[in-house]
Structure 1
Amino acid sequence: MLSLFRKRKTKGSGKRNVAQERVASSIVSACIRLQQRWANFMQRHTERLSRNGKLILLSLFCLTAGSISIYFIANSLLSRKASSFTVAPLTKPPYANKSGDENTKAFVIISKAEYEKIQRFRFYMDSLARSPSSKKVHDSILTNRPGLMDSILLLETIYQSQNKK
């Protein structure tokens, strides 16, 4: 069970890890030196004080910190100034409920005569695809015009949708 939690050695621990550890250890040692200097400074200045002087200094510190905290709390609760957090309603942009297809669909009108031409062309292409002798012609048309049948289908759906309205 303890072998599950054993620290495994990583492969390829190279110069990068060594450099990172050096930087980290130098930062830690600098912080420790700063703490020790501060502690020595405070020790030198407070060792002259008596026990009562230290208690008075501690109580003054606590009173000052407590009164400042109470002031900030009371000021934030009792002040009528505009708060730093304001609640404002969100405004919906006028184009939010539009898909963008309105401009492309609006003026496409297909007459019945055009629709019949489209139907005849589609039947012609279907007849070319069915007979083996004209299959070459069908394939050459589709290779030269790759999106032709998709366009025919789109025109048929547009005509059917405009007749539903």
Structure 2
Amino acid sequence: MLKNIDPLLNADILYALAAMGHGDEVVICDAHFPADSVARQTVLGRVLRLDGANAPRAVRAVLSVLPLDTFVDDPAGRMEIVGDATTLPAVQREAQREVDDAEGRVQPFAAIERFAFYERAKNAYCVIATGEARGYGCFIFKKGVQLAPDAPEGGTR
């Protein structure tokens, strides 16, 4: 076991998150999402599984090691409810709290229309499928850069 790594993150997921570059995206999806067929079209080419976790818990685990992109307006996206872009179901409100906690500030989700979400997910680096039984537990996160504490703004050391 590794120190300070969320135990939910298995070796395959840690590898994928580490291999991602700045601007690459990861999808965390519920059990209703066509994870396998979409994942086959991603960079990784196969689905990663967290069947025992709900979506907000998976978001917490992933964002414990994945910095969000600060150079874009919307580094976090959610699948919007069909016909209602403004309503946030409980699963999305819970995930929003996880994002805000991980970022130490409010970082609202951008709403992404269902079919646009599917298309964007196909271009992601990877798809992490959870055991989330509630609908609309689907999210996309864009990886940012973790700056070294003494690095100049906008650069790494």
> What TM-score does the superposition give when structure 2 sets the normalisation length?
0.20
Larger Rg: 1
Higher helix share: 1
> What TM-score does the superposition give when structure 1 sets the normalisation length?
0.19
Higher relative contact order (CA 8 A, sep 6+): 2
